[in-house]
Structure 1
Amino acid sequence: MKEINLLVGGPKRDWPVDFEHILATTKDEIWVGADLGAVELVKHGIKPALAVGDFDTATKEQLDMVLANSQQSVVDPLKDDITDTEMALRYSIASFSFNQINVYGATGARLDQFLANLFLVLKPEFKEHAPKIVLKDRYNEVRFYLPGKHCITKVAEMKYLAFVPLTKVQALAIKDAKYTLEPTNFNVPNSLSSNEFVSSNVNFSFDSGVVAVIQSKD
């Protein structure tokens, strides 16, 4: 599986516990930095394959450092009314082939920014790529699914499992979990939270809409 990694400028306190190790051991992999995420990558000795953003919160010294150490950079103060994360995804999709993009730093602190990152998969330009996008932080892993039958595997350190219809969803069914669900329609976004694995895999399906699946821990 070809993966790329995207670091967004969210709080460092919400990075995965082992993120410093991840950064140290993946310097030769494809990293993309969005705004202050690019600054952090360079500080950790990574030369981003792509640095993107308006860099409105970066100092001149930080921006100069990013520009000098990135293989490709896009600085756009206007951004066409999209977020730095969306801009980074747009250029990543155009620049690289990948099976999965791991997005770090996209949660925590400001709820408006978190919701923008959660709902971006509903936009037409990203929707077809939704199954390739994974949000990861200290407590959660979020994956996105389009209609069909799916099997998910338990992430070792996670305890809880949630199914979150982000749109109107038809015939959502959950099997093999602690709490199963017969085919059910959801007309508004909902969070079926605090479910759990009873084995290493859970199967689910739905006929229309977009569903986020969150594995989490306290």
Structure 2
Amino acid sequence: MKILLVAGGSPNEWPQFNSEGFDYNLGIDRGSLYILDHGWSLDLAVGDFDSLTNDEQQTVQKQAKELIQAQAEKDDTDTQLALALAIQKFPAAEIMIIGATGGRLDHFLANLWLPLEPRFQAFARQIKIKDHQNSIAYYLPGDYVIRKETRMNYLAYCCLTPVKNLTLTESKYTLDHVDVAIPTSYASNEFVGETAGFSFDTGMIAVIQSRDDK
């Protein structure tokens, strides 16, 4: 099963994707309105909806199949709440989050770090964050081969935590069993073919495929 989470970032920054490839659409605050604006089914709307006018809130309330309204002052961000609900409903699903990278930096960092939370760590491999320039996937310790995504020119290995024995192969820049003591981004790497390999023993890594904004 595939779930689409739409946060409140501008649709101008969305990636290219086929909306019909998703089985369940979850709108986060203003993202709920964006789903409706595109004519998609709004299966669940989540958030405090403080970014919507009264008329927009009424539109979401009328058209959402299910709505969960949160308090404006709460421990979780709307995106944290939405991800928790998505995992609770569909623990085996693949989850793509869009509209989560533009705008405020504090919001972006909160979204980037979502899989580090203990409640989400076991599901890290199922979560992806995408926009028109970037595709972010999360990895727990292991040995992996990844495939180059269409139109993406750059490859980065972002150690979100200290990492042991990081090895990078089949890429322009390689590493051999390196221990990473602090969060570090090995940025601006590149595929040399259609696939690249990496492995590590501890921690969590976000692998980012990206392109210039042209």
TM-score normalised by L of structure 1: 0.93
**Match of residue 44 from structure 2:** 50
**Unaligned stretches of 5+ residues in structure 1:** none
CA distance in structure 1 between the partners assigned to 2:99 and 2:85 by the alignment? 18
Structure 1 segments (4+ residues) deviating >6 Å = none
Does the 8 Å CA contact 1:3/1:98 hold for their aligned counterparts?
Answer: no
Partner of 2:32: 38
Classify the secondary structure of the residue corresponding to 1:4: strand
CA separation in 2, counterparts of 1:79 and 1:88? Answer: 16
Residue identity matched to 1:69: Q
More displaced 10-residue stretch of structure 1: 72-81 or 105-114: 72-81
Equivalent residue runs for 1:141-152 within 5 Å: 141-152=135-146
Q: Any idea what SS the aligned residue of 1:112 has?
A: helix
Q: Which runs of 5+ in 2 are unaligned?
A: none
1:3 and 2:25 are equivalent in the alignment: no
What's the CA shift string for 1:161-208, capped at 9, x where partnerless? 000000111111111111111011111111100111111111110000
Give the conservation status (yes or no) of the 8 Å contact 2:11–2:34. Answer: no
8 Å contact kept, 1:163–1:213: yes
Contact kept? 2:160, 2:204, Cα under 8 Å: yes
Equivalences for residues 66-215 of structure 1 within 5 A? 66-78=60-72, 80-215=74-209
> What residue in structure 1 maps to residue 13 of structure 2?
14
Asked if structure 1 preserves the Cα contact closer than 8 Å seen for 2:45 and 2:68, the reply is: yes
TM-score relative to the length of structure 2: 0.94
Among all aligned residue pairs of Structure 1 and Structure 2, give the percentage whose two residues are the same amino acid: 41
Give aligned pairs, total: 212
C-alpha displacement at 1:78, in angstroms? 4.3
2:88 maps to a residue whose letter is A
